[in-house]
Structure 1
């Protein structure tokens, strides 16, 4: 008989909203490939019946919740957990430690849990006081109730060991390789020119304000391509629009939903700036690595863990430092080629979806078989 797993805490399957959704698009079919009966919980409006990536072996269940910046994760998580309790799978894979508030319900029902805790969300500037409190409370409940913790980076595991005295297993994100792609017709003007690229949600902790300031100087010599937005307008969107309107070599594309277009930009970029400063292993960074993007990264413990010291240039989050590093790299084709080769090799060695999916399957299977309960709780995060 098939082992049954419920996946809780994402917007659904297949969904393209964030890192958790990216992981579930890979993990759910991989589990089905090795005989699991997989159910993914989601929210209304995420269904894409015509999506060519849809795997019909995956059961999709939609529950209700409140569409609120602070409460949506909690409320959708609660209704998904209640439905899971009713259906009694062999194990639940829970994404996001905010859902830790509801883990006691699964524990009472005898359903073991594997929880991906995500990053340290209560330290993100984008969240308000209520949301930060929700994440911190959920983290405490996760530390108390989860049977198995998953960290997407060693540095996150070290934080949980230090703050919550809990260990777990490190399972990062993977990326997709692609053959050489031509630039999208709308980007054809960039062909043959080294250009700077940034791909990020427009929030301060992604170093977007500093990059936009640096772009003014970079664009005097090289094109600058900006992918991303806040999603709701605001000062950062206004700044990007002003740059694009007043400087002919600044191109703000907003959100790019076409993977081939985005992948081609990463492949053709002369310098990709990755400014994310919180969280663990960033899915966009891993994807850029698989596509050989010569990378300049904000100097953080997370980015150094993923890239190592030789696979990128690291900079402080200052406009002058960013501009200096980007201009230096764009002026050096030999270094661009070296970084492209090294970063791709590192991605293929350490950050593949095959390895990620196998690690999730092992963690879930151990819970079903009760292996973890039969050995010491501490599992080194490595």
Structure 2
């Protein structure tokens, strides 16, 4: 019996803990294998651990080459993966990121239908310069022209693509894992007595503003910062300076231990989510599922995910500090927010439902170019 086959292109690999795409693939690849698929994930050398205890060895991992440069990595690794994929001829390819839109004509010409997760509106991101924004926007146009079907992780992203490119697609958000059992509180912290931020250090995640607010928050509570710039830089330096400014401020860097991160969310008194672009954010959904009380930057994306009971703030440092401290001071508000967030995550953002939607969409693509 022929097993349906899929190649996944555009992430750092499997299993990887780098970002949202990687989290989705960690969940989706084993799920598809369990549903009878032959699954191949393209990876970057050194980006995964062969001895990772969470690795499902039924998932095929193929490493290809590229340039490990901020502006070139996605494009070059995407190209080498697409070229190899053409030789393998899977029934369908799941392509992550519109920067890989340049290689979709190659897959299309080879008769390989594609499901493309477009991610956020990359050309809106402050971290990219003028040339990089042009590269992403042009990649999006190529994606719209040559991709077989789009995946939008938020309804607002779907609206933006409908308005600009005239394309419908499938709404498939990210999921969250419910936190079962008793996870210990991070040593040196107290449950519901600390503020937490988890984010890549880029301006559109409101990291500079949170760093400005952190000393004020630290007057009353501990402050825990998880994340880094990935390539070093000014914000990493500022994070280090904050730890020297106050013993109540901790910078943990990038945390790849899922259980440790879940514990930090579960026991936080206030989790600040400052992401301003990008649709449904995986960290936000997971924080909700873990039962974190959340203060989010007021954006259409965060309002879509958190719903009517969400707590929101403007990105000014004084307002971030005020909103976070207000939540930290109220046990009643914390428990109500934790309860509402966990219930919404369970009802609307479960990984089981997310993976099921991906499989249905992938099966519908098979033979689409025949």
Alpha-carbon spacing, 1:362–1:246, altered in 2? closer, same or farther (3 Å)? same
Question: Residue 214 of structure 1 contacts residue 322 of structure 1 at CA under 8 Å; is this kept in 2?
Answer: yes
| Number of the residue aligned with 1:191 | 190
| Number of the residue aligned with 2:266 | 267
| Number of the residue aligned with 1:229 | 228
Measured after TM superposition, the shift of residue 181 of structure 1 is 3.8
Q: Tell me the distance in 2 between the aligned counterparts of 1:307 and 1:163.
A: 26
Q: Tell me the distance in 1 between the aligned counterparts of 2:39 and 2:234.
A: 42
Alpha-carbon spacing, 1:81–1:73, altered in 2? closer, same or farther (3 Å)? same
Q: Name which of structure 1's ranges 145-154 and 45-54 shifts more when overlaid on structure 2.
A: 45-54
- 1:42 paired with 2:43, answer yes
Instruction: Provide the aligned C-alpha RMSD in A.
Output: 1.5
Question: Residue 11 of structure 2 contacts residue 21 of structure 2 at CA under 8 Å; is this kept in 1?
Answer: yes
Q: How many aligned residue pairs are there?
A: 369
Give the secondary-structure state (helix, strand or coil) at the position aligned to 1:5: strand
Over residues 283-308 of structure 1, what are the superposed CA-to-partner deviations in whole Å (9 max), with x where a residue is unaligned? 11111011000000000010000001
Over residues 334-364 of structure 1, what are the superposed CA-to-partner deviations in whole Å (9 max), with x where a residue is unaligned? 0100000000000000111101110010001
| Number of the residue aligned with 1:296 | 295
Q: Tell me the distance in 2 between the aligned counterparts of 1:28 and 1:232.
A: 28
Measured after TM superposition, the shift of residue 192 of structure 1 is 4.6
| Number of the residue aligned with 2:334 | 336
Over residues 4-51 of structure 1, what are the superposed CA-to-partner deviations in whole Å (9 max), with x where a residue is unaligned? 111111111111111111101111111111111111111111242211
- 1:357 paired with 2:320, answer no
Measured after TM superposition, the shift of residue 189 of structure 1 is 2.1
Measured after TM superposition, the shift of residue 92 of structure 1 is 0.8
Runs of 4+ with >4 A deviation? none
Question: Residue 157 of structure 1 contacts residue 170 of structure 1 at CA under 8 Å; is this kept in 2?
Answer: yes
| Number of the residue aligned with 1:141 | 142
Question: Residue 91 of structure 2 contacts residue 367 of structure 2 at CA under 8 Å; is this kept in 1?
Answer: no
Q: Name which of structure 1's ranges 337-346 and 117-126 shifts more when overlaid on structure 2.
A: 117-126
Give the secondary-structure state (helix, strand or coil) at the position aligned to 1:110: coil
Task: Give TM-score scaled by structure 2 length.
Answer: 0.96
Q: Tell me the distance in 2 between the aligned counterparts of 1:62 and 1:193.
A: 43
Alpha-carbon spacing, 1:76–1:320, altered in 2? closer, same or farther (3 Å)? same
Question: Residue 192 of structure 2 contacts residue 270 of structure 2 at CA under 8 Å; is this kept in 1?
Answer: no
- 1:366 paired with 2:351, answer no
Measured after TM superposition, the shift of residue 193 of structure 1 is 5.6
Give the secondary-structure state (helix, strand or coil) at the position aligned to 1:202: coil
Measured after TM superposition, the shift of residue 231 of structure 1 is 2.8
Question: Residue 181 of structure 1 contacts residue 267 of structure 1 at CA under 8 Å; is this kept in 2?
Answer: no
Give the secondary-structure state (helix, strand or coil) at the position aligned to 1:84: helix
Q: Tell me the distance in 1 between the aligned counterparts of 2:236 and 2:114.
A: 40
- 1:202 paired with 2:214, answer no
Q: Tell me the distance in 1 between the aligned counterparts of 2:261 and 2:214.
A: 19
| Number of the residue aligned with 2:282 | 283
Alpha-carbon spacing, 1:99–1:319, altered in 2? closer, same or farther (3 Å)? same
Give the secondary-structure state (helix, strand or coil) at the position aligned to 2:143: helix
Alpha-carbon spacing, 1:92–1:154, altered in 2? closer, same or farther (3 Å)? same
| Number of the residue aligned with 1:81 | 82
Alpha-carbon spacing, 1:193–1:340, altered in 2? closer, same or farther (3 Å)? closer
Q: Tell me the distance in 1 between the aligned counterparts of 2:203 and 2:29.
A: 33
Q: Tell me the distance in 2 between the aligned counterparts of 1:106 and 1:139.
A: 16
Measured after TM superposition, the shift of residue 128 of structure 1 is 2.5
Give the secondary-structure state (helix, strand or coil) at the position aligned to 1:56: coil
Over residues 62-92 of structure 1, what are the superposed CA-to-partner deviations in whole Å (9 max), with x where a residue is unaligned? 1111222112211111111111111211111
Give the secondary-structure state (helix, strand or coil) at the position aligned to 1:188: coil
Question: Residue 7 of structure 1 contacts residue 39 of structure 1 at CA under 8 Å; is this kept in 2?
Answer: yes
Q: Tell me the distance in 2 between the aligned counterparts of 1:320 and 1:345.
A: 30
Q: Tell me the distance in 1 between the aligned counterparts of 2:191 and 2:130.
A: 47
Q: Tell me the distance in 2 between the aligned counterparts of 1:110 and 1:141.
A: 17
Alpha-carbon spacing, 1:192–1:105, altered in 2? closer, same or farther (3 Å)? closer
Over residues 162-188 of structure 1, what are the superposed CA-to-partner deviations in whole Å (9 max), with x where a residue is unaligned? 11111101101111122244445xx32
